[in-house]
Chain A
Amino acid sequence: MQENHPSAEKAEEIGRDSFLQGAKDCLPTLLGYLSIGFAAGVVGKTSGLGIAEIALMSVMIYAGSAQFIAAGMVAANGSIAVIVFTVFIVNLRHLLLSAALSPYFRHLTPVKNMLIGALLTDETFGVAIQRATDANRIGERWMHGLNLTAYLNWIAATLAGAFLGRWIANPEKFGLDFALSAMFIGLLVLQLTSRKNLAIDLIVAVSAILIVAGASMAFSANVGVIIAALIASTIGMAVEKWK
C-alpha cells in the first residue's frame, strides 16, 4: 500500500492537469462565448463584412471587444491605422492578465509561455486564476485544454452569428446580451469568496468600480478599465503593506 501512494497521487495529479480536464473546466464559459460570439458575428455581417472576413477576424484577433470595435469602424469607414490603434488600447488590459498569470507558469519555457498567452482572454484568465488559488503552478496541458476549447467555441459562435443573425431580430429578448455581464459577476464573486483577505479584496473591488465610473467620464470606458485595474491593485498592495 505504502509504495502505491506516490503513483496514485501522481495519476490523480496528471488527471487534474490533463487537457481534457482543462476543456471541461472551460464549459461554464461557453454560454457566454456563444452569445457574445454570436452577437459579434451578427454585427460583423451588418457592418458589411463577408463570412470569410468574419472568420479570419475570429481566428487572428480572437477578442470580442476588439472585433466589435473593428466591425463598427469598418462600417463607419475608419482608417486602418485608427482601428488598429483603438484595438491596441482596448486590449492593453491583457498585459495585466498575462502578468498576473506569469507566476504560475514559471516552470515553462518562454516559447511555451507564448503559446499559452496567445489565447488568453478575460474568461480563460478568470477560470485559470480561480484554479491558481490553491496551487503555485498551473498545468500546461490543462491550460491548453481550456484555451483551445474557448477558442474553437468562439470561432464557431461568430460564424453561427454571421450565418444565422438575420433570423434573430431581437437577441435581447432572450437575455443573451446579459450573458457576458453575468459571467464577469460570477468570476468576481468566485474570486472574492475563495480568498483569505476578504476585507482588502472588497476595498479593491469597490475602488475599481468607483474608479472605472469616474475615469470613464474623462476617458473611454476601455481606458477606464485599465486605469481602474492599475490604481485599485495599487490600493490593495498599499493597504496590505501598511495595515
Chain B
Amino acid sequence: MEIRWEVFLMIAGASIVTFIPRIVPLVLLSRIRIPDWGMTWLKYVPIAVMAALVGQELFLENGKPALFPPGPELYAALPTIAVALLTRSLLATVVAGMISMMLLRALLG
C-alpha cells in the first residue's frame, strides 16, 4: 500500500491538466457576457460532443473507422436507441444496452 514517487508525479501532473480545462470556462465565462453568436454556438456543443462520443464508440475500432463488417456494438445500439426513444429513461437505456450486448455475445458465441 505505498505510492511510488514517479507514479505520484504522474498522477499530480495528470490531475492538473484534467482540472484546468474543467474549470477555466466556468470560472471565466460566468463573469463575461457572451455574445449572441457565442450562445448559439454553445447551444450546439452538447449535441456535437455526445454525437462525437457515440460515433467514437460505435464506428471506430482502436481509433480507426470500422464499418465493414459492423461490430456487435452497432447491432446492440439499435435496441438501445429504441428503448431510449420509448422510455426517455437513461437507466432503462443503459440496462437495455447491456442486455442487448450480453444476448448478442451469447448468440454469436
Contacts and interface: CB of A to CB of B under 8 A. Distances in A.
A178 interface: yes
Contacts of A190: 84, 88, 90
Interface string B6-50: 111111111101110111111111110010010111111111111
Contact of B52 (A31, A174, A185, A208): A208
A117 interface: yes
A212 B94 contact: no
Contact residue range for chain A? 35 or more
B84 to A, nearest CB: 4
A228 B57 CA distance: 14
Nearest to B57: A181
Nearest to A235: B44
A70 B23 CA distance: 21
A204 B9 CA distance: 40
Nearest to B32: A102
Contacts of B96: 182
Nearest to A121: B22
A92 B3 CA distance: 27
A232 B81 CA distance: 21
Contact of A241 (B15, B40, B50, B51): B40
Contact of B30 (A66, A102, A205, A240): A102
Interface residues of B, number: 78
Contact of A225 (B11, B46, B56, B89): B56
A179 to B, nearest CB: 5
A52 B3 contact: yes
Contacts of B40: 236-237, 240-241
A98 B41 contact: no
Contacts of B95: 31
A216 B10 contact: no
A216 B14 contact: no
A100 B46 contact: yes
B63 A51 contact: no
Instruction: Please provide the 4 A-B residue pairs with the shortest distance between their CB atoms, ordered closest to farther.
Output: A182-B97, A236-B44, A186-B93, A175-B101
Interface of A: 27-29, 31-32, 35, 49-53, 56-57, 60-63, 66, 70, 74, 80-81, 83-85, 87-88, 91-103, 105-106, 108, 110, 113-114, 116-120, 122, 125-127, 129, 172-193, 195, 200-201, 204-214, 216-217, 220-221, 224-225, 228-230, 232-237, 240-241
Interface of B: 1-4, 6-15, 17-19, 21-31, 34, 37, 39-60, 63-65, 73, 76-77, 80-81, 84-85, 88-91, 93-102, 105-106
